[in-house]
Structure 1
Amino acid sequence: MTYSVAVAGASGYAGGELLRLLAGHPEFEVRTVTGHSSAGQPLIATQPHLRSLAHLTLRETTPEVLDGHDIVFFALPHGASGALTAQLTNVRLAVDCGADHRLTNAADWAKFYGGEHHEAWSYGVPELLTSTTGSRQREALIGATRIAAPGCNASTVALSLAPGIAAGVIAADDIVSVLAVGPSGAGKAAKTHLLGAELMGTANPYAVGGTHRHIPEIQQALRGAGARGDVTLSFTPVLVPMSRGILATSTAKLAPGVTAAEVRAAWVNAYAEEPFVHVLPEGEYPRTADTLGANTCLMGVVVDEAAGRVVVVAALDNLAKGTAGAAIQSANIALGLPESTGLSVDGVAP
């Protein structure tokens, strides 16, 4: 069976990555692409690398244009998709790559985003350990009709720490995460701090001091993995001069009496059968370069004995596994397709 697909926000980075992956999906056919200011232009005017989709023209992003497709992927800024999704009446599966349907708590939405809070959808991180829907979040995705793809930073940190939380080998009350992030995660809009001249040769912290919008999403995911009490997180992202990628270094307190062998076993056992999340051999740590274009999250785990903390270093492509890949992987599960359909573990090098 071939599923008809529409992509809203097709002119942006996330929309472009969705289309790149969808173009190679054997069961999905992209029939409609939409934009805002780009409506009326050929798709390749904004996504010149997508030559196989050169026949498509960007249309207005309206419910009437999107309705009637089997699947609609939304790649819109936060606050833009919620009103649209509420007006869809004839769509089998909607997948939102924005933030509008991620948070269950309206107070979190008001604090970090503002505006109207929309219903939370099934969270699109299949590998995430959870104590409420069985062993994995993928069980909540089977047969889903509405899916919230994750924030790229949020899923990187949640996947990094959930095994330790679920196994009880780390505490959740003193987590520190520092992330090196490519600027494509900030979107395609022209902003001075994202210009090449402002980024080359420097590293720039942003959203410092507990203000980043992915913090409540990470806390929500770790509570779902079994965290008891408050999940306290110091989260600091840093823009670095690479177009794609996230390298997240997360540390948490080691639980009393837990050995390094038990720590490693928690992560290895959690992801041993996962096709897209790989724990590297002991003493090895990932590079963002090894994940570019792939639907993979690579991580290394070690115990800092002197500090009494577990250190997890995780890498992924923020546009692939962090956003578009997670969305398509989750859609595959929802529709009963093999989970890896249209997705690759092989990156691009050099």
Structure 2
Amino acid sequence: MSYSVAVAGASGYAGGELLRLLAQHPEFEIRTVTGHSSAGRPLIESQPQLRSLAHLTLQETTPEVLDGHDIVFFALPHGASGEFTAQLTSVRLAVDCGADHRLTDPADWDAFYGGEYHEAWTYGVPELIVAERAADGAPIWTHQREHLAGATRIAAPGCNASTVALSLAPGIAAGVIEAHDIVSVLAVGPSGAGKAAKTNLLGAELMGTANPYAVGGTHRHIPEIRQALRGAGAAGEPSISFTPVLVPMSRGILATSTARIVPGTSAAQVRAAWEDAYAAETFVQVLPEGQFPRTADTLGANTCLIGLAVDEAAGRVVVVAALDNLAKGTAGAAIQSANIALGIPEATGLSINGVAP
């Protein structure tokens, strides 16, 4: 079966990555691409790497243009997709790669984004551990993919948020780490900020330097991380000090997260929590003890690679996770989630193989 697909925001980085992956998907047919200032121009002018899609022309982003497709992927700036998603009447599946439908608490939206709040959709991180309760109150641990099956509206994750959540959720779910006093420092590529011209993202400003930003608890992905960790069974409200640092690589995230180990927990129990959580996963892999990932190992792939160590002197676990912010962090997660929602084999159109050198 072939599903008709429209991509809104097709001229940007996230839109381009969606199209790159969708172009090799055997069951998705890209019929419509839309843009804003680029509307009316050939897609190939904005995405010259997508040679197989040279026949497509960017159209205006309107509900009328998007409606009627089987699937619509939104790759619009934060706060922009909500006005369109509310007007779709005949779309089987909508997937938003922006933030508009990620947060379940309107107060979090007001505090970190502002503007009109839109309802939360099913969260698109299939491997994320979710805590539920049986009728007798006993905890049941599942994965988010079970909530994605049959979904009609999906919120793809923030790339930084999913990297940190995947890094820490196994330890919280297993009860081997504490959910307060978490520290995460991320080296990130500037493509996560989008394609719009900004002085701080110019090559001359980035080359040869590392630049921290959104320091002191102001980054917009913080409430999304806390939301995911609560969902994994955190006792009490998770607290996290989160600091992203722009580094001179076009794409990629290397997240180093540390958390306190619950007293009395052995190093073997800590490692087992992560290995057990991801043992059956294709796209999230725990590396052997003593090995740690590089962003280069995930370039272009739908993989999140994780290495961890126990710092016994500090009483903390150190988790290092790497992924491609445009692939597994955004477009890959969106397509993987769409596959699950539609009953297509989860890995269809996606690869665990990166590009090297």
So what's the TM-score if we normalise by structure 2?
0.98
Tell me the equivalent position of 1:271: 278
Tell me the equivalent position of 1:68: 68
Q: What whole-Å deviation, never above 9, does each CA across 1:240-275 have from its counterpart, x for those lacking one?
A: 000000000000000010000000000000000000
The answer (yes or no) to whether the contact 2:178–2:262 under 8 Å persists in 1 is: yes
- Aligned residue type for 1:347: G
Specify which of 150, 161, 171 is matched with residue 178 of structure 2: 171
- Aligned residue type for 2:58: L
Q: Identity of aligned pairs, percent?
A: 84
Secondary structure of 1:31 counterpart: strand
Secondary structure of 2:319 counterpart: strand
Alpha-carbon separation, structure 1, partners of 2:180 and 2:166? 17
After the TM superposition, which residues 295-314 of structure 1 pair with which residues of structure 2 at under 5 Å, given as runs?
295-314=302-321
Q: What whole-Å deviation, never above 9, does each CA across 1:286-312 have from its counterpart, x for those lacking one?
A: 000000000000010111011100000
Q: CA RMSD in A?
A: 0.6
Tell me the equivalent position of 2:245: 238
Specify which of 324, 343, 350 is matched with residue 350 of structure 2: 343
Alpha-carbon separation, structure 1, partners of 2:328 and 2:222? 19
- Aligned residue type for 1:28: F
Tell me the equivalent position of 1:318: 325
Q: What whole-Å deviation, never above 9, does each CA across 1:18-50 have from its counterpart, x for those lacking one?
A: 000000000000000000000000000000000
Tell me the equivalent position of 1:254: 261
After the TM superposition, which residues 57-136 of structure 1 pair with which residues of structure 2 at under 5 Å, given as runs?
57-132=57-132, 135-136=142-143
Aligned length: 350
Alpha-carbon separation, structure 2, partners of 1:117 and 1:248? 29
Alpha-carbon separation, structure 2, partners of 1:290 and 1:131? 31
Secondary structure of 1:131 counterpart: strand
Alpha-carbon separation, structure 2, partners of 1:202 and 1:30? 39
- Aligned residue type for 1:73: F
Q: What whole-Å deviation, never above 9, does each CA across 1:165-195 have from its counterpart, x for those lacking one?
A: 0000000011000000000000000000000
Tell me the equivalent position of 2:145: 138
Alpha-carbon separation, structure 2, partners of 1:251 and 1:24? 37
Tell me the equivalent position of 2:18: 18
Alpha-carbon separation, structure 2, partners of 1:277 and 1:320? 13
State the shift of 1:134 in Å: 5.1
Alpha-carbon separation, structure 1, partners of 2:326 and 2:203? 19
Specify which of 143, 155, 161 is matched with residue 154 of structure 1: 161
- Aligned residue type for 2:347: S
Residue 298 of structure 2 corresponds to residue 291 of structure 1: yes
State the shift of 1:4 in Å: 0.2
Q: What whole-Å deviation, never above 9, does each CA across 1:36-72 have from its counterpart, x for those lacking one?
A: 0000000000000000000000000000000000000
Tell me the equivalent position of 1:5: 5
Tell me the equivalent position of 2:226: 219
Tell me the equivalent position of 2:198: 191
Moved runs in structure 1, 4+ residues, more than 4 A?
A: none
Secondary structure of 2:143 counterpart: coil
Alpha-carbon separation, structure 2, partners of 1:230 and 1:336? 35
- Aligned residue type for 1:225: A
Tell me the equivalent position of 1:28: 28
State the shift of 1:230 in Å: 1.7
Alpha-carbon separation, structure 1, partners of 2:345 and 2:219? 34
- Aligned residue type for 1:101: H
Alpha-carbon separation, structure 1, partners of 2:202 and 2:41? 24
The answer (yes or no) to whether the contact 2:6–2:73 under 8 Å persists in 1 is: yes
Alpha-carbon separation, structure 1, partners of 2:164 and 2:48? 32
Secondary structure of 2:142 counterpart: coil
Gaps of 5+ in 2: 133-139
Alpha-carbon separation, structure 2, partners of 1:306 and 1:180? 25
Gaps of 5+ in 1: none
Alpha-carbon separation, structure 1, partners of 2:63 and 2:159? 26
Alpha-carbon separation, structure 1, partners of 2:273 and 2:226? 20
- Aligned residue type for 1:338: P
The answer (yes or no) to whether the contact 2:141–2:173 under 8 Å persists in 1 is: no
Alpha-carbon separation, structure 2, partners of 1:276 and 1:182? 21
